[in-house]
Amino acid sequence: MSASKPTCPNYSSQHTVKNSSIHNQKPKYQCQNCKRQFVQNPTNKVISKDTIELIYRLLLEKIL
């Protein structure tokens, strides 16, 4: 049972090694060519425009 190694997003190289894991226990890999660290299947969470505006307002209130 041999799993194929993930490919580097920068170089498309399969010369990668497992390098720990992220907060939700997904394995993190590192490319041996460019030293970039990456997750094989990342999940991107979308932040709504309303939430972003709220964050900016709260940051401005704290700064001023």
Q: Could you tell me the pLDDT band of residue 56, with boundaries at 50, 70 and 90?
A: very high
Inform me whether the pLDDT recorded for 59 exceeds 70.
Answer: yes
Q: Are 36 and 30 in contact (CB under 8 A)?
A: yes
What integer is the mean pLDDT of 42-57? 91
Confidence at residue 63, expressed as pLDDT on a 0 to 100 scale: 67
Helix spans in the chain (H): 49-63
Give pLDDT tens digits for 3-40.
678 898 888 888 899 988 888 888 999 999 999 999 98
Note the pTM of the prediction, 2 decimals: 0.61
